[in-house]
Structure 1
């Protein structure tokens, strides 16, 4: 069974300052694997500054890892050149947070769709290009006759975001990086976009890495989840188990912040400790905010397997078996 994507102990460190340079670890020792013949939707969740967007930029090849390797279909993406690099650009696509920024207000929607067709030589005639655009728009639930020929300001945010998905679909991608794709869209349209992404995975065999801070959308779209905090994995596993029965204090804090439509459930029951300096890199990055912090937390905890499909990096579970980061993907359902 071949792998579509494999991250091997990937870290990204940014340096701040010229004289008294300080290192900012944006992502730390991340390992995961996506199977080529098992398209899935994997959520990467966490608050702002947790490393989610850095992970997206790494996967898209916009930045390079400080340490570790990103392997796509057997090749390190940092060594790709020529046709291999072009194929990677085609097969790994992105949908970003802002549905407005992608569009040039002086061009119609057609321009956004024709550019990739020309760039990757997907059609030999204008008629064939038109057919491809119509097929992609129909696949994301839009009526081509209502979309083509119109300017961006004539469309809603939800329509524009689905056009972005259609643009990615034109290229027949194998992997889609969806970075907060519904955070700037009205709540009434979020379900439509999430359903569009689910259809891509189910009907077109596209694996999706869904990046979000919103656990409610993560719960509805994905089967598996990785929770990041300050660049490190805090918890991972089956999305139903992680959200309904979180095993890490940070995940519990995130879940507790969800305003569930239940009048008997109090919102914000878990105490939040003010953010402080995280201290030495060797310790748990969450310990200065953690209500369960112990002396041992000054040493970074390993991942403990808390159940057959769930793991948490917390010493509260030190009686459970440890797992190495490379085996984390084995706990994630597809």
Structure 2
């Protein structure tokens, strides 16, 4: 078994905006490096305001986008290696499962939701027959507080958003994945149900020994559910470390700004409140520190070159010339 469950190695993703001839390049994800160890399951939250590259990074891990630079390695298998995942889509689906933002978009209104769970169990070869699939589906639903007796034959419109998201989670669990990618999984759910879902992630992490990447800009739930937090800004990873350390004592000025905008559980910051006048795509192509134009601590050094990684301790790192806390010696 590989030492790392997931390694994101210097990954970048570039889109062209405005046409092939006069269009501009937008670096949606810019040289991001992250990893998740294989020794114990964790929840890694990737946070940042809209447009920071969270979902693009998520889609690259799910192989919905190919990186333009860098590589992603899952349990020792490189995404670029044609002998591994490129020719074994079934194994990849067993190892990695997604949970998307809007559960109503994950299921067709014309099909009962239990049919999706049965299809997952049977088509991926997890169950040999309908009887085995029935037991697997029922167990998965019970793990999220439902049951096949409650769900069977019902259509998406017969469930609340929170209930349907639980069905999505149950579907992901059927494969016994190593990694679940949850992209804004509570964004479309009533505020009263959000903590139920994130509590469920914590329970499932320990019960099934599965790690989560939790993509969110709801910092209160990220604080509550995460073992580690990675902060993105304009496609760049600017701070990473244990969740409590980062949110209690941020080292990057941008993370400090985010923390100051979290009044209570379930609230999000308003992007309009944080926006600066110049929000054009050229900000993504800045070759020096991308946060320098809005940073109250920026110096000439920040406007000339991009900072490298500064390790504050064995785990925590920040990409800043002038971090708000100093490295431990």
TM-score under structure 1 normalisation? Answer: 0.88
Q: Secondary structure at the match of 2:293?
A: coil
Q: Which residue in the other structure is 2:289 paired with?
A: 284
Show the counterpart of 1:235.
239
| CA gap 1:12/1:273 in 2 versus in 1, 3 angstroms | closer
**Alignment RMSD:** 2.3
Q: Aligned equivalents of 1:310 and 1:154: distance in 2?
A: 45
Task: Give secondary structure in 2 for the equivalent of 1:48.
Answer: coil
The 2-side partners of 1:321 and 1:241 are apart by 13
Q: Equivalent residue for 2:216?
A: 212
Matched residue of 1:181: which SS? coil
Q: Residue in 2 aligned with 1:14? A: 15
Pair 28,296 (structure 1): closer, same or farther in 2 beyond 3 Å: same
Stretches of structure 2 that go unaligned for 5 or more consecutive residues are: none
Matched, 1:25 2:27: yes
Match of 1:147 in 2: 151
Q: Which residue of 1 aligns with 2:141?
A: 137
CA contact (8 A) 1:275 1:288 kept: no
Alignment correspondent of 1:294:
299
Q: Check the 8 A contact 1:304/1:318 in 2, yes or no.
A: no
Aligned mates of 1:40, 1:48 — CA distance in 2: 24
Partner of 2:127: helix, strand, or coil? coil
Distance 1:225 1:279, change over 3 A: closer
Match of 1:125 in 2: 129
Corresponding residue for residue 43 of structure 1: 45
Cα distance, 1:273–1:12 mapped onto 2, change above 3 Å: closer
Which residue of 2 is the match for residue 326 of structure 1? none
1:36 Cα deviation from its structure 2 partner: 2.3
TM superposition shift of 1:195: 1.6
Q: Which residue of 2 aligns with 1:325?
A: none
Tell me if 1:256 matches 2:260: yes
Residue of structure 2 aligned with 1:306, choices 278, 289, 312? 312
Give the one of 79, 85, 88 matched to 2:92.
88
Match of 2:205 in 1: 201
Q: The residue matched to 1:317 in structure 2 has which SS? A: coil
Answer yes or no: is the 8 Å Cα contact 2:238–2:319 preserved in 1: yes
**Deviations 1:243-271, CA, capped at 9 Å, x for gaps:** 1111111111111111148xxxxx99xx9
1:275–1:289 Cα contact (<8 Å) kept? no
- Cα 1:288–1:111 shift into 2, 3 Å: same
CA deviation after TM superposition for structure 1 residue 3, in Å? 2.0
After TM superposition, give the deviation of residue 122 of structure 1 in Å: 2.0
Question: Deviation per CA, 1:73-111, whole angstroms, max 9, x where unpaired?
Answer: 222123235763320122100001011101111111211
2:136 and 2:163 map into 1 onto residues whose CA distance is: 18
Write out the 4+ residue segments of structure 1 that deviate beyond 4 Å after TM superposition.
318-322
Tell me the CA shift for residue 196 of structure 1: 1.4
Residues 1:248 and 1:318: Cα distance change in structure 2 (over 3 Å) = closer
| 1:179 shift after superposition | 0.6
Match of 2:64 in 1: 62
| Aligned equivalents of 2:324, 2:45: Cα separation in 1 | 26
**1: CA distance, partners of 2:285 / 2:72:** 27
Separation in 1, partners of 2:184, 2:86? 31
Is the partner of 1:145 in helix, strand or coil?
helix
Given the superposition, is the C-alpha separation of residues 305 and 124 from structure 1 closer, same or farther in structure 2, using an over 3 Å criterion? closer
SS at match of 2:301: helix
**Which of residues 116, 135, 152 in structure 2 aligns to 1:112?**
116
